A and B are shown apart, each in its own frame.
Chain A
């Protein structure tokens, strides 16, 4: 019932919005996303551990496609993440100019529905179908509402992601044949694939997620796409879509090609960290606020991926914990980008400056969002980063040191950004509106979540801990 509600509430609402084009599209979408949040919270409360399977139907059984949906702790965390993020994404539209709102919000809800499918799927092909389907609504979000040069960038984004997607499909088909046509994750995890095969199969599977995240050197689509996309589109990409990459690694790579992971672990960590440092350095050089957020996301994702590939309890739990924190952070930062754009008409930080004098409350909110970005203790990011670095430490001390520099770089570019926007001489020369009711309604809950989970990470870590332990112990048996 829960799975059906999750998949159908956004999907049917989206269908309604797209076909009927009601005038009150945004409130309808908001209500639908809140309804699905309520369902998810109910699922969370009633979750008692283990893997819950909600539906198990044969779809095209002869070809390995079965409709199996359910979740373990990590899957549930991802579902919670999706459910929490979407009301905010839709709500962010209230500050934006309204252009065909029914279509826009319909596409957003389609995305949400397909994301649920990805995180609920317990069959590799079903996962793949959801994974590719999420691209379609996002493609149109970018094509219709993107900024300059959107036609070229959208196609590049689409093709880039599909390169990974088809490589993933190839890997899945290969696995299906090995397993005799059974595509369930449980069956695939029980395969024993020769190590020599695992070495290349790892890349066939991982390439999709490496591009989706993205990690260095598969990242070249990301900054331009994030920059060009409408703010809400960037939120979808940064807050949830890239988490499919993390989740995919956890679900499709770790249990199925462990020997491959073992072999490539260091390579991936090094690549991810290069991306993290590189993203941070470039972010520092940006004068555009939105570009800065794009590159900072690239930097954060590098660390996320490195933590995940530490491949121990700390690393994996930390990575997923941080994934949640990063989603909240992306929402906050991008909302601020939107708020600035609304007030000053630009996202260029060079044109801002001294805003604090005009808008002290906005500056305060900005600072509170920012402390999460620099992983200050008592924020959610601190917990996540600490866990990841602890995990990395068990792998390699030097690499950890390298990774730690991203924190320093992160602090530098974030505080520098704050300085350029809020402090210094007043360059805006406009009478700014301070943060109003809407901004508080939006940002205060985000900040609250950050701080609460920063002090009390238990509920989320509990979700992640058991399945990660189980995964790691099952691997050591092999």
Chain B
């Protein structure tokens, strides 16, 4: 393979070619919509994503700054990008069945997801805060539309509206924060800001501090950390299930990658550290405790998503060299389990004529034993039971937080992990309880069966051999 030299600049921009490829893919998908050929749309989408995967993966360790150093596709960015692309592929595979009965605008859904993915790739590779903001907007704006994808559904519209309003508010925070940081440091460049924060150690700069607060608040909104989580249960519930799955996997992964990239090398002032600890504890607490009261599966998943945000934030505390790898592993395996579960939900919901109560999983083991076992594995993984990936992920988080000396925060997290097991096990119990009266059986299309199996197998394989998924 030809290696890039200075003499042949264009070839150095392989990363840019990913962004270009995906943008073109989105446009192509939109045009394909004109012919209303659904099979082709998903097929082309998946092919394009796989091509993007190869482009990202092929230059695994290339670390070239792009566009005058505002983007850097380092190992970190590439790893997270790959996870996001893979998850999007799985969701597209699911989409073939999910959109099978939808009459119009299917192409737009796929295209908007691709556009949103581009934003995700940008925010996990930024080295300049302007790109962070742009990326978050590119990520979010398609989502505002997608959340309202079911045009006839009141809830879907409500979700889109809520998400849009609160999202704009968070963007406002973020923008204000970035402006203040610029005011303090006279730069948008991450390295310059890091240098500023290092020089500041021991001193105080209110503008910088306020800037950090607001910026973190803006990003915390995207990861649904308490107290910036209010949008997530309603939006998760109202949005079409496929989009909910997309939000809780791809968007979450991107937001966390961006969050950590932002604060990884900053010397955080004490007040910000405290803010992070408080945010972590509150997120763990609220997410898990409120999830206990949920009987609607999508709301349950929303609060469980908040709870997992808490565990991920726990890995942020302190400065541990292992944090990026743990985040990567956690988010990757969390995404696998979540995608599978949302597909199972869709199928069960269909059989139950739109009901979302966890009771709809009843009889799953009777009618589809293998799907029930896969569901079991994914739920156990979210709960963090050994030999599933979720256990390894939580265990690593605990190791990091204890190494960093956050003894009591870890104790809270352990207690909350127990609470978490409770609400997941209730779903397991439903799936393995026999159905009392006859109702429509849960039908699993071959493609969905494949995706669920992949997700179920992945959480076990990655749990037994965690080395397979590393940066």
Contact = CB atoms under 8 A, between A and B. Distances in A.
A133 B467 CA distance: 21
Contacts, number: 63
A159 B421 contact: yes
Contact of A154 (B411, B415, B429): B429
Nearest to B325: A62
B402 A144 contact: no
B3 to A, nearest CB: 32
B373 to A, nearest CB: 9
Nearest to B422: A159
B75 to A, nearest CB: 17
B38 interface: no
A162 B418 contact: yes
Contacts of B415: 166
A358 to B, nearest CB: 37
A151 B429 contact: yes
Interface string B408-442: 00110011011001100110010011000000000
Contacts of B411: 170
A151 B380 contact: no
A60 interface: yes
A136 B388 CA distance: 12
A132 interface: yes
A139 B396 CA distance: 26
B398 interface: yes
Interface string B361-379: 0000000000000000000
Given A129-B386, A162-B421, A143 B432 contact: yes
B404 to A, nearest CB: 10
A140 B386 contact: no
A128 B386 contact: yes
Given A151-B429, A151-B433, A155-B426, A132 B385 contact: yes
B402 to A, nearest CB: 5
A129 B433 CA distance: 26
A21 B392 CA distance: 32
Given A132-B385, A159-B418, A174-B402, A140 B395 contact: no
A276 interface: no
Contacts of A155: 422, 425-426, 429
Contacts of B432: 140, 143-144
Interface residues of A, number: 28
Give the secondary structure class of A's interface: helix
A176 interface: yes
Contacts of A57: none
B422 to A, nearest CB: 5
B466 interface: yes
A177 B418 CA distance: 22
B37 interface: no
B402 A60 contact: no
Contact of B425 (A132, A158, A163): A158
A229 to B, nearest CB: 16
A132 B386 contact: yes
A129 B426 contact: no
Contacts of A136: 380, 385
Given A169-B395, A170-B398, A170-B410, A163 B418 contact: yes
B399 interface: yes
Contacts of B175: none
Given A63-B395, A63-B396, A177 B402 contact: yes
B64 interface: no
A166 B429 contact: no
A155 B429 CA distance: 8
A140 B385 CA distance: 15
Nearest to A178: B402
B105 interface: no
A351 to B, nearest CB: 30
Contacts of A139: 425
Interface string B315-340: 00000000000000000000000000
B387 interface: yes
Given A129-B391, A163-B418, 5 more contacts: A128-B386, A143-B432, A167-B414, A170-B414, A173-B399
Give the top 5 A-B pairs by smallest Cβ distance, nearest first.
A129-B386, A132-B386, A170-B414, A173-B398, A166-B414
